[in-house]
Amino acid sequence: MADNYTKFVNGGLGKSLSKQLGLPRPAILRRYAPDAPLTVGPVLVVSDDASAADADTLAKALVTWDVDVRRAADDAGDVRWGGVVLVATAAESPDAVSEAVLALGGTLRKLAGNGRVVVVSRAPEAGDSPTLAATRAGFEGFTRSVGKELRGGATANGVQLTGGAAVDSASALGTLRFFLSAKSAYVDGQVLPVGPSEAPADVDWNQPLAGKVAVVTGAARGIGAAIARTLARDGAKVVVVDVPAAGESLAAVANEIKGTAVQLDVTAADAGTRILEAARHLGGLDILVHNAGILRDKLLANMKPAQWDAVIAVNLASQLRINEQLLAAGVEGLRIVSLASTSGIAGGKGQTNYAYSKSGVIGHTAATAPLVAELGGTANAVAPGFIETEMTRSIPFATREVGRRVIPSLQQGGLPLDVAEAIAFLSSPVAGGVNGQVLRVCGQSMLGK
């Protein structure tokens, strides 16, 4: 649900007052519903001349998703675009992209509320000429900047093809669909590298995880419980894990999703082995979500060894140990998704221990990715920003409001569901070409990346 301020300024007296006083008016974000259309209106696909063939290919793919696709804006009349896809996969020099990017700019005033802009380009590669590298790299800053210009719940994100990935590969299309959908409501200004993949072409988009077994740690409440619910919604059999002290809440989550509860401290020396054993009772381990984490905030000058050590043990060392045990067991095709944080990217006052642990998660994700890839798996991280949880509700009112409203474009906090949707996407078969990446779920904060 939207925060009280957002609900107030989007209806009745609050809407009128916010306009008169020039107050921020965050949009009520559209989130996923099984029977809802993929987008809020038609999708326009534009491109530079060199990328026209790839744009045609993507337009044909969108048609198979029951999307109203247009390749030209001049005959659109009064239409409000549900999405605009800029395809620049074959651009080779900076002076060749202006026509396409300005064509995109000409559509933004007609972008519907909760509309989507997606830029599909190629990543700079080793051996590129300086001109080609500059052309490709430019789309990252461009995409982030477009996101900060949008309003009304609209977002801009990028699919950045790597390693010669085809524009219509399963992972490229799966990432495009995620960014166009309501599942990415709180993902904005993100450019996600996508490599070649061999994911199945036929996907049940309502149950993409059918037949998979997932384990979620720290699942008794908050973000962990939302992750468990979302994976179960998408068809997975879910094992929820948390400490014995949270046993009652954990059992309630397991009963709700018809899952299995395992009381386990993730810092236990044999945690990985016990997780694998629990999953094997359901058919094997396909997805592992490292969500368990704690806070022990304190200025570094006042930090005690116990406060530092506890955070590192739960948030970082446990993940490393569990991953090592699963790799040693040779688990094939495993999707690992770890919870990082924007604090691990930008830091946070009084959070030196937490920021170290979350930055460490980002580091081990990059190093783990090639190791699990050898077994057909992936390792990625999700970095939430300001998410509305029990913890944020304890923040003083003024501080909390400032934290929400300084977020460019969306001007509000996200929900645990938003984090869960990103994790469900990275866990799915179509994300096989996404490996070693960090997907920020932060409504595009003031961070550069």
CA 258, 263, 268, 273 dihedral sign is negative
Check residue 322 and report its DSSP letter.
H
In DSSP notation, 90-125 reads T--SGGGSHHHHHHHHTTGGGEEEEEEEEEEEE---
Q: What are the distances in angstroms from CA 280 to CA 213, 215, 265, 286, 397?
A: 9, 11, 19, 10, 46
Q: Which residue has the tokens 């009745």?
A: 12
The distance from CA 146 to its chain's CA centroid, rounded to whole angstroms, is 18
Indicate the SS3 state at residue 159. Answer: strand
User: What type of residue is 117?
Assistant: V
Residues 6+ apart with CB under 8 A from 127: none
Nearest alpha carbon to residue 182 among 257, 114, 127: 114
**Cβ pair 372, 378 in contact under 8 A:** yes
**Residue 174 to residue 429: CA distance in whole angstroms:** 9
Q: What are the distances in angstroms from CA 160 to CA 121, 188, 366?
A: 5, 15, 17
Tokens representing 256? 């709700």
Indicate the SS3 state at residue 403. Answer: helix
Active centre residues (catalytic): 354
Residues 6+ apart with CB under 8 A from 263: 241, 242, 243, 244, 246, 247, 250
Check residue 360 and report its DSSP letter.
H
**Residue 324 to residue 309: CA distance in whole angstroms:** 20
**Residue 449 to residue 445: CA distance in whole angstroms:** 9
**Residue 307 to residue 433: CA distance in whole angstroms:** 38
* Pairing relationship of beta strands 438-441 and 378-384 according to DSSP bridges: parallel
Longest dimension (CA), the chain: 66
User: Phi/psi class of residue 22: alpha, beta or left (left: φ > 0; alpha: ψ in -120 to 50)?
Assistant: left
